[in-house]
Amino acid sequence: METVQETAMQGHFADLKQSYVFSIYKALQKYDISAGVSFLIFKEHYVKNEIDKYISTMRTGYSVQSVDEYRTLRKAMALYAKYEYKFDDNTISIISAEIGRSIKDTKEIIRAGIDSTHYTDFYRKYADEDGEITAEDVTVDTTSNPERLFFKQWQAEALFAAYEALDYRERSMVADHLGFCSECYGIYELSKDENGNSVKLLRKGKAYIDLAAEHTLSSPDTAFQIVNGAYDKMLIELAIDEYIHIAELRLTSADNNSVTYEYCADHNNDWGKIHYTFGEDDYDVKRYIYADRKGDFFFATAGEWIMHNTGRKHIPKYMVISL
């Protein structure tokens, strides 16, 4: 239980216990009593390796191929903390020299380490009947689901790839607006308290008016258009690579009483058409797309959005909707 609490893996007690038992079995196979070493001491090497291996595969954000790589990750993050969470070139050079990796690899390792610490504990701590402190997962799920963990990481990698595909200004403004570092994706920044001590503070997202001033834009509305245009680009990139489904809408005509939009699925350039009269409780699909004829419901997503988000004073020209 001590290992479970120290590593904040309260939801994995059964799996950690299984790893511990398996490590004992491996140690028994290798143990030689003639070496003069107590088995209780000998087994510790195998126990630590097996526990570290399990934890490294459960953490999100980084695929660790071996126990040695996991220890390199831990060492890099310890040095990152030692040097006050700085991500400048000089600090990265120092850390890369100490862990024996290239500067590029060191940056990737630290970014992954930061990702792996961005989780929230949902545990209620209490003293058990023996007086020892234990914890209970208030959202307990005793099932082991490695598939969900895999797809979570798979989707995260795709999201970051779509973000990296943006141009420099778009990446910078999206990061500033959402409150994370555009270089390492960290959500904390280094600051000083009233006593001059270094402290980590949660990054605050910036309003569009502040983004406009910092990037010398004409108005907050321009900042809004750039940031949301970047979101649209990311959604399209993810849809093309088949990570998500989207519906695109483009305005073809509008008057005081109605609007007509074309819509397509997953950026495939197959456009359908929807007409909507303001105030009506339904829309009229003039032309279905091929995906709808196969049994999908992109027209419903598009039609519902048009009904609830358009009016005489608000008629967007283009939208990307995530399904």
- One-letter identity of residue 295: G
Determine the pLDDT at residue 7.
45
Q: Residue ranges of the domains in the chain?
A: 2-138, 245-322
Token digits for 28?
């028994």
Composition of the chain by helix, strand, coil, percent to 5? 50, 15, 30
Does the pTM surpass 0.85? The reply is no
Q: Report which secondary-structure segment, H or E, holds 224.
A: helix 220-240
pLDDT in tens, the chain (323 residues): 445 444 444 445 566 677 777 778 778 877 777 766 777 777 777 777 777 666 655 544 444 556 567 678 878 888 887 887 788 888 888 888 888 888 888 888 887 777 655 444 444 444 445 555 454 444 444 455 555 555 566 777 888 889 999 999 999 999 999 988 888 888 888 877 778 788 888 888 889 999 999 989 988 899 999 999 999 999 999 999 888 899 999 999 999 999 999 999 999 999 999 999 998 888 999 999 998 888 788 998 899 999 888 888 889 999 999 88
Separation in Å, CA 178 to CA 163, 171, 224, 289, 308: 13, 11, 12, 35, 26
Residue type, 38: S
8 Å CB contact between 90 and 60 = no
